[in-house]
Amino acid sequence: MSGLTHLDENGAARMVDVGGKAETARSATATGRIAMNADALAAIRDDTVPKGDVLAAARIAGIMAAKKTGELIPLCHPLALDSVSVECALEQDAVRVTAIASLTGKTGVEMEAMVACNIALLTIYDMAKALDKGMVIQQVRLLSKTGGKSGDWHAANDPDEGA
């Protein structure tokens, strides 16, 4: 079982001990999109969705979710985030969500960025499902992370280009 950080010497799940690690500035960026029909996209763009401002609700939901990542993902550390931003951009047939989480700490914030992105996308679905039940959440991925022992990482290519 050696080499697996979330398993002890007996193979039992454990939270990684980060107590001896140095605090460093860390950030992570995640993105994803929700494809939908033209009517749903127009209603979101024109702020005429019956449930209210879809993009504002998605931003707030994503930020709230990032703060609860340690409660949602087993073995994740609860983190004191310095910043979380969630941006929504209209595309030709979708809404793209980009979430950025950052802190100065002993462990990374990749999961917080990913959770923020996913919950923002799910919120868009929930708010607009009366207009298009066939919406598809897709291409959710980590774009980059900075800081920590392993240093910076950036996705090698972007499969979303031209999407």
Give the strands of the sheet with 83-90, arranged side by side: 83-90, 94-105, 24-35, 136-146, 153-154
16 domain-assigned: no
7 domain-assigned: no
Lowest mean pLDDT among 9-18, 53-62, 80-89, 101-110: 9-18
Closest CA to 64 of 123, 116, 122, 137: 116
12 domain-assigned: no
The pLDDT of residue 157 is: 77
* Per-chain mean pLDDT for the chain: 90
Would you call 132 a catalytic residue per the annotation?
no
Largest Cα span, the chain:
57
- DSSP-assigned letter for residue 107: S
Distance separating alpha carbons of residues 72 and 159, to the nearest angstrom: 28
Residue 1 is labelled as binding a ligand: no
Distance separating alpha carbons of residues 124 and 95, to the nearest angstrom: 9
On the question of pLDDT at 163 being above 90, the answer is no
Q: Give the global pTM.
A: 0.87
154 domain-assigned: no
Residue 76 is labelled as binding a ligand: yes
Domain assignment of residue 44, given as a range: 24-143
Identify how many contiguous H helices and E strands the chain contains and give both numbers. 4, 5
Catalytic residue among 47, 53, 82, 126: 126
- CATH label of the domain that carries residue 125: 3.30.70.640
Residue 77 is labelled as binding a ligand: yes
pLDDT tens for 75-114 read 888 999 999 999 999 999 999 999 999 999 988 899 999 9
107 domain-assigned: yes
Residue 154 is labelled as binding a ligand: no
pLDDT tens for 107-154 read 889 999 999 999 999 999 999 999 999 999 999 999 999 998 888 999
Query: What residue ranges in 18-63 does DSSP mark as E strands?
Result: 24-35
Query: Number of structural domains, the chain?
Result: 1
